[in-house]
């Protein structure tokens, strides 16, 4: 059993998708980040950085924080969605880090300065909007050559999809009109049952045979 600590954010959806894909049962512990529950002493013991998501593998007693580390751990635990052949593994890890180091932080900063900053700073908004657009172009170029980001479906796709999905919604209103291959990839991802279930976490539509609210 996996204890899964999360909230309804792009990073928070990643392990939900992964757990559904690999078929591990999990118990969902909702962390209300609006109320600051991520700073509670109990949660800081699990994640010293006070962010979501995090997991505890009750089978091994191992706790893991940071969404990328969670995906890698679950992939290695089950032998799924992360190749062992060195070149293929390196390719997946590169695209996973592309999301961790670039897509997530840059999209996040764009969202902050566009919607949450107390002062509207045109320079900051333009800077992060341009970077978000550039990153989508990088993804577009790659997906023109491959069905999924690193060739076969992998944790790189699971990590990136929630961020691109969120960016195209009303919060950021990023257009994919110039990214037909990203659009095609989004449609392929959305057709996967595990993606549908994981992305519906905390919604009335959530229906899982593996996961349940603790």
The model's pLDDT over 51-83, given as tens digits with 9 standing for 90+, comes to: 999 999 999 999 999 999 999 999 999 999 999
Do 125 and 142 belong together in one domain?
Answer: yes
A 10 A CB-CB count for 170 gives 7
Residue-wise pLDDT tens digits, 23-56? 999 999 999 999 999 999 999 999 999 999 999 9
Do 102 and 141 belong together in one domain?
Answer: yes
Per the structure, the complete domain to which residue 180 belongs is given by 86-192
Question: pLDDT grade, residue 105 (50/70/90)?
Answer: very high
Do 73 and 127 belong together in one domain?
Answer: no
81's CB contacts (< 8 A; 6+ apart) are 18, 21, 22, 75, 153, 154, 155, 158
* Average confidence (pLDDT) over 91-109: 98
Structure confidence at residue 116 (pLDDT): 93
Domains: count for the chain: 2
Do 92 and 24 belong together in one domain?
Answer: no
Do 114 and 49 belong together in one domain?
Answer: no
Distances (CA, A) of 47 to 52, 57, 108, 200: 8, 14, 20, 24
Do 129 and 180 belong together in one domain?
Answer: yes
Do 151 and 114 belong together in one domain?
Answer: yes
């Amino acid at each position: 059993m996996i204890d899964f600590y999360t909230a309804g954010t792009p990073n928070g959806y990643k392990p939900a998708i992964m757990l559904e894909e690999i078929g591990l049962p999990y118990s969902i512990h909702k962390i209300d980040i609006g109320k600051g529950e991520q700073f509670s002493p109990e949660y800081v013991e699990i994640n010293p950085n006070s962010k979501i998501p995090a997991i505890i593998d009750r089978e091994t007693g191992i706790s893991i924080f940071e969404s990328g580390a969670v995906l890698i751990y679950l992939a290695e635990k089950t032998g799924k969605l992360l190749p062992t052949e060195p070149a293929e593994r390196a390719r997946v890890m590169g695209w996973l880090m592309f999301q961790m180091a670039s897509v997530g932080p840059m999209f996040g900063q764009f969202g902050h300065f566009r919607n949450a900053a107390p002062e509207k700073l045109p320079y900051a908004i333009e800077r992060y909007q341009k970077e978000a657009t550039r990153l989508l172009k990088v993804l577009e170029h790659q997906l023109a050559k491959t069905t999924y980001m690193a060739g076969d479906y992998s944790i790189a796709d699971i990590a990136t999809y929630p961020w691109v999905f969120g960016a195209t919604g009303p919060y950021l209103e990023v257009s994919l009109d110039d990214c037909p291959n990203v659009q095609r990839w989004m449609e392929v991802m959305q057709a996967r049952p595990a993606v549908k279930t994981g992305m519906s976490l905390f919604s009335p539509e959530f229906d899982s045979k593996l996961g349940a609210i603790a």
